[in-house]
Amino acid sequence: MSKQTRYVTTPIYYVNDRPHIGHVYTTTLCDVYSRAMRSLGHDVFFLTGVDEHGQKVEQSALEKGMEPQALADLNSEEFRSIMEMFDLTNDAFIRTTDKEHTMQVRAFVSTLLERGDIYLGTFEGWYDEGQEEYHTETSARDLEYTSPISGKPLVKATEKNYYFKLSAYQERLEKFFETHPDFVQPPSRKNEVLGRLREGLQDVPISRTNFSWGIPMPSDSEHVIYVWIDALFNYITALGLGDKTNDWHEKRHQYWPATFHIIGKEILWFHAVIWPAVLMALELPLPRCVYAHSFWISEGRKMSKSLGNFIDLETIESYLEEYGMDAWRYYLTTQGPLGATDADFTAEKFKETYNAHLVNTVGNSTSRVTAMINKYYDGIVPSELNDGERVVLLGFDWPEKCKHAVQNWEEAMEAFSIAKAVECGMALIREVDLFINDTAPFKLAKDESKQMELGAILYQCLETLRIATMLLSPVIPNKTREFQEAIQAETCSGNLQEQAQWGGIKPGAKVTKVALFPRV
Ligand code: ME8
């Protein structure tokens, strides 16, 4: 297979807040995708990081009696530390205070000024302080002059600002959406964007003067660059696209355009409309897909600190202690809000999912099969052949089933349908269980004349589990590695399609018993 590049990004997170389930969720999705793409041999660049400028950070710092930079340093470290804590394999971690970033943002803004895509004008409208987002009179009225995110009133704003000529891109954007129907996922989110786009685009302010914690506008240091413009640029500054002499450019420029920008639904407009228009203005290629997932709510309600249902790092740690990291990753990626509806995080559902999927399916099947091979064959893998021919029982064509599962898994992963991809591995495991029940190897073991069948059944079960766990390894990397080591199988190393071919386990290999997921 030819090696291709894959570039996947998370939003960069505001450092005025502490990390919580939402940040961990989006980053875990990107991690699963990255691991899957690496296992297929692709050249992956997985970027995450932090958004450090803007009024909110300046205010938080002020309240704490700190310099904004000191607060940003402190909180950025906390975000960086969650990457290790959750086994997240990001290739880089960008901070918008990195000088490589700020220099390139100024260079991009200068180019846009020179081309007339940014100009000085007067803004009259409404401002959402929490989101640092501007609304026109019409959209503010639709929102009843209240922030849809924080519920706080929008603030009337009139100021001299630099503007980005978004209105000039109306037609080009419409055309782009027509010719790239999969640009925004899932489809219902695309329809929201198209609806708003049809109302007509207005130019957007991209600078502020009422605070100073930001990147100064080139040649007008009274203005700082609006935090959203600063932040969106991270996706290309991290690749050094704005400075050919930059080390980042040399090593990373080949990853653009992004394969997936993964974001939450509340920031779709910036990513699906403003960002593409900025890229058009800079004559850069557009990303392949912006995937906007929905939100985690908790115990049936919007997460909130005052309701006590907020899933912060401390709450997450209690789950990790009780269930382990892989169980956490599994729950997030298979039960999470990747589609168009919000997902409810409940302690009950977590436990149910853990028991049904991990204990009773993955855990049970792997332990049953390794235990039987130990009991009946002293842990030595038997053969599935009779006179060189595979013994087929009850019509189960395992090589064919596995081949299909691998193909479907790859397709689902490529489309970022993570839960669907996981299901490809889980379905195989459930079939192994059925097969064991139907063929009843524990009965055959008592019959001298059925030894050939018994060997074939156990070989086929073990080999299918080997392939199925490869498909699960991006989500539950630690437990699948433990299993692969116990059956002396190669761990996945960038050539999954070959490694997942039937026959990887050789008769005669030594297998030890496993117990991957203890009952909680
Ligand atoms: O918006 N459920 O940063 P942010 C699922 N700095 N995901 C959630 C979530 C929830 N309840 N809450 C948050 C910003 N998220 C800007 C982005 S990008 C150029 C600039 C996730 O710290 C989700 O991915 O508010 C959401 O988009 C992101 O955290 C917002 O993080």
For CA atoms 403, 406, 407, 408, the dihedral sign is positive
Pocket lining: 238 vs ligand 1, CB cutoff 6 Å? no
Q: Is 445 exposed, middle or buried (0-12, 13-18, 19+ CB in 10 A)?
A: middle
Q: How far apart are CA 337 and CA 458, in angstroms?
A: 38
Residue 492 has pLDDT above 90, yes or no: no
Pocket lining: 23 vs ligand 1, CB cutoff 6 Å? yes
Residue 334 has pLDDT above 90, yes or no: yes
Window from 208-212, 373-377, 407-411 with minimum mean pLDDT: 208-212
- Whether the pTM exceeds 0.85: the reply is yes
pLDDT band at 1 (very low <50, low <70, confident <90, very high): low
Residues 6 or more apart in contact with residue 371 via CB below 8 angstroms: 513
Whole-number Å distance, alpha carbon 251 to ligand 1 midpoint, is 28
Instruction: Give the pLDDT mean for 405-420.
Output: 98
What are the strands, taking DSSP E only, across 153-288?
155-164, 184-185, 204-205, 207-208, 216-217, 220-225, 260-264
Q: How far apart are CA 400 and CA 232, in angstroms?
A: 45
Pocket lining: 13 vs ligand 1, CB cutoff 6 Å? yes
Residue 2 has pLDDT above 70, yes or no: no
Angle at 403 between CA 390 and CA 334, to 5 degrees: 130
Q: What is the pLDDT of residues 7-57, one digit of tens each?
A: 999 999 999 889 999 999 999 999 999 999 999 999 999 999 999 999 999
Whole-number Å distance, alpha carbon 10 to ligand 1 midpoint, is 9
Whole-number Å distance, alpha carbon 356 to ligand 1 midpoint, is 30
Tell me the two tokens of residue 309: 């249902």
Whole-number Å distance, alpha carbon 11 to ligand 1 midpoint, is 6
Go through 339-376 and write b for each residue having 16 or more CB atoms within 10 A of its CB, e for each that does not. ebeebebeeeebeebbeebbbebbbbbbbbbbebbeeb
Instruction: Give the pLDDT mean for 403-429.
Output: 98
Higher pLDDT, 278 or 305: 278
Pocket lining: 232 vs ligand 1, CB cutoff 6 Å? yes
Q: Which domains does the chain have, with CATH numbers?
A: 347-499 (1.10.730.10)
Angle at 30 between CA 226 and CA 180, to 5 degrees: 70
Long-range contacts of 283-287 (CB under 8 A, 24+ apart): 284/236, 284/241, 284/256, 284/257, 285/256, 285/257, 286/176, 286/180, 286/183, 286/257, 287/183, 287/235, 287/257, 287/258, 287/259, 287/260, 287/261
Pocket lining: 57 vs ligand 1, CB cutoff 6 Å? no
Report the Cα 469 to chain-centroid distance in Å. 20
Residue 122 has pLDDT above 90, yes or no: no
Window from 204-213, 226-235, 447-456 with minimum mean pLDDT: 204-213
Residues 6 or more apart in contact with residue 180 via CB below 8 angstroms: 286
| Maximum Cα interatomic distance, the chain, rounded to a whole number of Å | 90
